[in-house]
Amino acid sequence: YTATNYYQHFEYATIADIIADYYNINIADVNWSALLYNIGCIVFLYPTLKCISRFGFHISLVSATTANAFGACIKLLALKLNLYALYLFGQIFPAFVALFPMSLPAILGANWFKSEHVAAVIGVNNAFTAFGCVVAFLFPSLIFDKLNSKHEVERALFYIAFTLAVITILILVLNTLIVKEKPKTPPSFAEQTRRESNVNNNDPITIVLRNKNYILLLIFSFVMSTSQVTTVVLEQVIAAQFAKSIAKRILTTAGVLSIISGIPGSLITGIICKRCKNYKWFLVILDVLVILFFSLYTLGLYLLNEIMIFVFIFLAAFVYNSQMVMVIDFIVEVTYPYPEATTLNIATGVGSIPGVAFVPMMSILIKKFDGTKANLIIISIAVINLILSLFVTNDLRRHHMNKKVSSIQIEMNQVKNCTKRASTI
């Protein structure tokens, strides 16, 4: 589900010039197919929270996959030259359930896995996010570069849309039949303690809004999300720097490298988070690396050096995806025992706001200047992130609760064993 949802996020943004020519619209209009996801995360923040709170994990997942499949089916009908508005209407459905792929994996991890494995669950989900985006970036070179007429483009779009509709319907059926809400017994002491307490999604949100760490991480999510703008405008950045004859090849390679790096980045971070619990300094190190690698990627654009572009966009995206996984797990930790469905959805909703402003701004700067000067905005914002991360404390409440309850359980078992030995004697 996550892969198909995020594929739809970028399916037209990666071939913006082809879509603009096909529908006879501006590239800025094509960008709105991706920006709808940012708008959906903001507008549907509260409905998503209420859906998860009232109906739980299973029904929420089925509802999200239903909207995902319904949108794909509508877009299958929007392939005529004058039906771009219908395409955008269909795009609304997967875009407006885009919060679910961010929040449901953490709930799945809390319901079914031990606390130390939750980051790994989030990492696997993030890897599937990257996989969906990789497929979107492969299409320009694999399919559309070889097409010469609008009729050929229409046929290619039809086959892609039909395949997507079939896959999303199959995912809906499988989720409906196979996925369960939660196991009968909690998988960890922390989850058992939360279930025994009365903390739920109906408790006042001011409980977590008074949490300094959560506020800092919210701001961090807000600022970090501007890096997503890079993916949306990548086609425009490459086109502004390179000749049209080689721009497509560079775009495909750079796009695939930037997205595919999310797979190892997400999985490795999940493993590190399981073993290393000093989240604050891990976050600081990742911030420094993002600034370094993104600066070198921008330098590669300025020098028109393809190798530098490919190497450093891969490394920058690798670290950026690692940040995403770690920040999600960090938010779950610092807000425990408040439900992660609420805290993560708020963070994702807040993090979606910048894209609505920054994508048009970046497009204007690219047209007026070039891609390198536009990238300086992202680097400046990464510096702000580094400063913010220095004020976060390593308050791992869920981890500490697990250790506390586990130690109590061990002491109780020791007392029981001593009592048994005494009674035997």
Element (H, E) at 184: none
Question: What percentage of residues in the chain have a pLDDT greater than 90?
Answer: 14
SS3 at position 373:
helix
What is the maximal distance between C-alpha atoms in the chain? Answer: 92
Give the model's pLDDT for residue 74.
93
Q: Out of 135-144, 283-292, 302-311, which region has the weakest mean confidence (pLDDT)?
A: 135-144
Mean pLDDT on 151-160: 88
The rounded distance, in Å, linking the Cα atoms of 60 and 52 is 6
Give the model's pLDDT for residue 164.
92
Task: Give this prediction's pTM.
Answer: 0.68
Give the model's pLDDT for residue 378.
80
Give the model's pLDDT for residue 30.
86
Does residue 200 carry a pLDDT above 90?
no
What is the average pLDDT score of the chain? 79
Whose CA is closest to 161, among 80, 82, 74? Answer: 74
Does residue 194 carry a pLDDT above 60?
no
Class of domain 205-404: mainly alpha
pLDDT in tens, 311-369: 999 998 888 878 877 877 777 777 777 777 677 777 777 777 776 777 777 778 887 87
Give the model's pLDDT for residue 364.
80
Could you tell me if 346 and 45 are in contact, meaning their C-beta atoms sit under 8 angstroms apart? yes
Does residue 304 carry a pLDDT above 80?
yes
The rounded distance, in Å, linking the Cα atoms of 312 and 290 is 10
What number of other Cβ atoms are within 10 A of residue 199's Cβ? 15
Whose CA is closest to 307, among 254, 260, 358? Answer: 254
Give the model's pLDDT for residue 62.
92
Mean pLDDT on 402-410: 62
The rounded distance, in Å, linking the Cα atoms of 214 and 335 is 7
- Which is higher by pLDDT, 407 or 28? 28
Give the model's pLDDT for residue 308.
94
Does residue 198 carry a pLDDT above 70?
no
The rounded distance, in Å, linking the Cα atoms of 171 and 68 is 10
Does residue 405 carry a pLDDT above 80?
no
Give the model's pLDDT for residue 411.
62
pLDDT tier, 68 (very low <50, low <70, confident <90, very high otherwise): very high
- Which is higher by pLDDT, 372 or 270? 372
pLDDT in tens, 84-108: 899 999 999 999 888 888 778 777 7
Q: Which 3-state string (H, E, C) describes 86-142? A: HHHHHHHHHHCCCCHHHHHHHHHHHHHCCHHHHHHHHHHHHHHHHHHHHHHHHHHHH
Mean pLDDT on 377-381: 82
From residue 348, alpha-carbon distances to 49, 111, 332, 395 in Å are 12, 21, 13, 21
Give the model's pLDDT for residue 410.
61
Give the model's pLDDT for residue 173.
94
Give the model's pLDDT for residue 295.
92
Give the model's pLDDT for residue 404.
67
Give the model's pLDDT for residue 399.
67
Q: Which CATH homologous superfamily contains domain 1-182?
A: MFS general substrate transporter like domains (1.20.1250.20)
Q: Among the residues of 143-278, which ranges form H helices?
A: 150-178, 189-196, 206-209, 212-224, 228-241, 244-260, 262-275
* Domain positions in the chain: 1-182, 205-404
Phi, psi dihedrals of residue 276, rounded to the nearest 5° = -110, 125
Whose CA is closest to 15, among 184, 246, 289, 252? Answer: 252
Which residue bears the tokens 């508005």? 85
Domains 1-182 and 205-404 alike in fold: yes
